[in-house]
């Protein structure tokens, strides 16, 4: 399915929505494995676990090659749940306005290393705002050291310690 004609016009780039039944799902797994193995040393099991909750993904194609992806899980974030499990970073009123409506979790964002720093990640980020949801949220491991990138667009709403004793930030961006 072609849903992003504008970029295709000048750069042979297309964004397509991929579901679990899509023929490209194995290419998606390969892409995430390659990127996260190279960047963070993750193995196949860790990658499969990371993308297990996927509801759908946006795939970024360059001349029919899958070069990037943004994986999503359909799920709302409840402020009451956050209060019970996390250290909250914002007040209740701000949380109410950020978390109104339907949310999705952005689970993984990846662009193949040979295509990085050309604005392709940004195409996926911008395209995610056209999805039919009210806010996108995500969980960022402190040890990845990338919170500042996410805070260009998102608000840091909470922090918790994972079962594996890692500090995790929860960030939210309204898209509607
Ligand atoms: C993150 C990543 C997808 C960016 O792709 P890219 O094509 O190089 O990105 P672009 O050149 O389009 O830059 C887009 C944005 O990515 C952001 N970005 C760069 N590295 C990032 C990172 N590690 N985490 C989150 N965002 C990042 C930048 O802030 C930039 O924002 P700006 O243009 O508004 O300043 C790519 O570097 C990648 O695959 N990294 C390895 C996997 C990863 O760390 N994913 C994020 C955690 S899930």
Residues 76-124 have pLDDT tens digits of 999 999 999 999 999 999 999 999 999 999 999 999 999 999 999 999 9
CB of residue 106 inside a 6 A radius of ligand 1: no
Q: How far apart are CA 133 and CA 153, in angstroms?
A: 16
Q: Tell how far the Cα of 120 is from the centroid of ligand 1, in angstroms.
A: 9
Under the banding of pLDDT at 50, 70 and 90, the label for residue 5 is very low
60 near 4, Cβ under 8 Å? no
10-43 pLDDT, tens digit each: 568 999 999 988 888 889 999 999 999 999 999 9
Cα of 40 vs centre of ligand 1, distance in Å, is 14
Atom of ligand 1 at shortest range from CA of 122? 12
> What's the 137 CA to ligand 1 centre distance in angstroms?
16
Ligand 1 midpoint to CA 121 (Å): 6
pTM of the model: 0.93
Q: Name the phi and psi angles at 7, rounded to 5.
A: -70, -30
Pairing of strands 87-88, 56-62: unpaired
Task: Please check whether residue 138 is in contact with residue 70, taking contact to mean a CB–CB distance below 8 angstroms.
Answer: no
What values do phi and psi take at 123, rounded to 5?
Answer: -60, -45
For the chain, the structural domain boundaries read 5-174
Model confidence at 1: pLDDT above 50: no
Q: Which long-range contacts (CB under 8 A, 24 or more apart) does 87-92 make?
A: 87/158, 87/159, 87/160, 88/157, 88/158, 89/156, 89/157, 89/158, 89/159, 90/155, 90/156, 90/157, 90/158
Select 5-174's CATH number: 3.40.630.30, 3.30.70.100, 2.170.260.10, 3.20.20.100: 3.40.630.30
């Amino acid at each position: 399915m072609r849903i992003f004609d504008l970029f295709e016009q000048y750069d042979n780039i297309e964004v397509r929505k991929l579901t679990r039944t899509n023929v490209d799902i194995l290419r998606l797994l390969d892409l995430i494995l390659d990127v996260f193995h190279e960047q963070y040393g993750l193995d196949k099991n860790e990658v499969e676990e990371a993308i297990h909750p996927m509801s759908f993904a946006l795939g970024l194609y360059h001349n029919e090659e899958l070069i990037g992806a943004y994986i999503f899980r359909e799920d709302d974030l409840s402020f009451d749940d956050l209060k019970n499990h996390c250290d909250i970073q914002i007040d209740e009123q701000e949380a109410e306005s950020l978390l109104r409506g339907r949310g999705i979790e952005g689970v993984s964002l990846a662009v193949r290393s040979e295509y990085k720093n050309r604005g392709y990640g940004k195409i996926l980020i911008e395209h995610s705002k056209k999805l039919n949801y009210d806010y996108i949220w995500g969980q960022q491991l402190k040890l990845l050291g990338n919170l500042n990138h996410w805070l260009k667009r998102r608000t840091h709403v909470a922090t918790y310690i994972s079962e594996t004793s890692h500090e995790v930030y929860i960030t939210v961006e309204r898209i509607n």
